[in-house]
Amino acid sequence: MLRKTDRMVNQIAALGRGDTTARHLAEAALSRAEAFHGLNAFVALDPEKVLAAAEASDGRRAARTTLGPLDGIPIAVKDNYLTADYPTTACSDALPLEPAGVDATLVARLRRGGAVIFGKTNMHEWAYGATNTTSSFGPTRNPHNPRHITGGSSGGSAAAVSAGIVTAALGSDTGGSIRIPASACGIYGFKPTYGRASRHGVLPLSWSLDAPGPLAASLDDLAVLLSCLLGEDAGDAATRGSRPFRPVAAHSRTVRLLHLTGPGLERSAEVDASVAAALQSARGCMVDTRELPGMRRFFGAWETILHCEATAYHQPLLAANAAGFSTVTRAHLEAGQYLSAQELLRAQQVRAEFCTLLASGLGDWDALVLPTLPVPAPAMDSDWQAFGGRRVTTQDSMTWFCWPGNLAGLPAVTLPCGLSSAGLPIGIMLMGRPGQDERLLQIAKRFDPAINLTE
């Protein structure tokens, strides 16, 4: 399992001191990938390509021409990012793709920084689900207990980091798909503000909800990755005017945290206890508790927008090759055909109400706080979850707290805050104000980190 030494910032420091080489890091990652093959975290991994990229990095370091702090660091990529040298299938048989010959913008930025692209990771088919059990390559298994799910849709990326195969990976987040598996696997995940990370070259699920971002072994690792990934990109109009990520210095001002509770935000007793303990341990924070009214309405708006946009994107492929989709994904896409333009427009109106509520209807706050998941990672064969007097599907339980960040376009980060009685990770999620990604990461550092990590 992940150890405190398995952090990207430690690898960067070791490379800088000459204590290790990029080839050694690559070989160690390949060896660990083989040892944890049963997790099914990777769907494409070519050792020759990995080692060639690592040797090129070592050559640059010997010539003192390194490209940046990520030079020589193995980083995995979710299978919905286009990659020049690996197929991109979104873990579906609907449209098996050959290597695109081009990289998604964020992959290209990693390569320009010298990162070693370490294969493609398993995901919930087309990112249209939050369990990572629906994939043409089979389900991904949780490193903490292989009989439990990773959550999704970026489950392969989370499993690869949690198992210590790599210290960082790319994911994408439409209703929690970075934060859900990061929490379930006991690592860190960051969803940027909508429009700060380029979606160019990332196969979409929902254009107005999607946000690509990193999963990593520590908050410091996230900061290094975000400094490479965020910023304007001509390939994605939503990023116009977006500034690069520039870490901000910590300061002593008391931070106002708003812990959200109430109907629609229920959680299990042990998750609630872990989050309460984390809030008590947070340094220099004042915590208020508030209920959010109308959660069912707002969730309905997110779901309507998601289904409409996903069906619109997939309609040509659905007409040409419906049999290529799994039964579950095809049912979601076909259901989207029955939503009307009026329903979509009404959902967008409700979305605007929700954004206004969060921005000005809750008073002054620096970060909104929720558990990342209402329950620890469910068992692989569990279809229903019971918590807080609710009984909901496993799918809905995974997105229970995460979708508000997508509906409102907020930056959001999840970090581990404890272990369940069964030894499964519990995560706490912070959401910040739009565009204040740097500030949010600093606030997260006020919490006691790495409870799930061992030496």
Of 52, 44, 51, 55, nearest to 77 by C-alpha is 44
Contacts of 132 (CB under 8 A, 6+ apart): 122, 123, 124, 139, 140, 149, 150, 151, 152, 153, 155, 156, 181
Beta strands 74-78 and 168-173, pairing class: parallel
Measured distance CA(448)–CA(81) in Å, rounded: 33
Q: Could you say which DSSP state residue 143 is in?
A: T
Q: Which of 57, 78, 154, 326 is catalytic?
A: 78
Is 49 considered catalytic here? no
Angle, alpha carbons 143-22-30 (nearest 5°)? 35
Q: Which of 135, 154, 172, 177 is catalytic?
A: 177
Q: Which of 135, 153, 218, 242 is catalytic?
A: 153
Beta strands 255-261 and 367-371, pairing class: parallel
And the tokens for 350? 């409700």
For the chain, helix (H) and strand (E) counts, in that order, are 14, 15
Is 227 considered catalytic here? no
Q: Find residue 285's DSSP bridge partners.
A: 255
Measured distance CA(199)–CA(196) in Å, rounded: 9
Of 414, 425, 422, nearest to 370 by C-alpha is 414
Is 177 considered catalytic here? yes
Question: CA end-to-end span of the chain, whole Å?
Answer: 10
* Secondary structure (3-state) at 322: helix
Positions annotated as catalytic residues are: 78, 153, 177
